[in-house]
Amino acid sequence: MRRTMVLNFDNAPKKPVNLSLNAKVLEAAREMGINVSQTVDQLLAAELQRRYWERWNEDNKDAIAEYNDRMAREGLPLAAYRNF
């Protein structure tokens, strides 16, 4: 199994980068008062989260399938003690 990365991006320092963006989109964003840097940062973090969990699910699909099969065969642990 792959080593997982930490997905806590809070309080990380900012680092300047160069991006090439569609000039019309950038102009429209500025006209609407959108903070482009903040928006790109948030969208990139969300995409990283999505891809991380997509990869995690793929890496663990066999274990998940086995667990689901076991639950279907044996039922939930301690199910006899549930009162709902």
Q: Using CA atoms, how far apart are residues 69 and 63, in angstroms rounded to an integer?
A: 10
The yes-or-no verdict on residue 6 having pLDDT over 80 is no
The yes-or-no verdict on residue 57 having pLDDT over 80 is yes
**Buried b / exposed e along 24-60 (16+ C-beta atoms within 10 A):** eeeeebeeeeeeeeeeeeeeeeeeeeeeeeeeeeeee
Which is more confident, 65 or 81? 65
Q: Using CA atoms, how far apart are residues 34 and 39, in angstroms rounded to an integer?
A: 8
The identity of residue 31, as a single letter, is: E
The yes-or-no verdict on residue 13 having pLDDT over 90 is yes
So where are the chain's domains? Answer: 23-76
The yes-or-no verdict on residue 74 having pLDDT over 80 is yes
pLDDT score of 79: 81
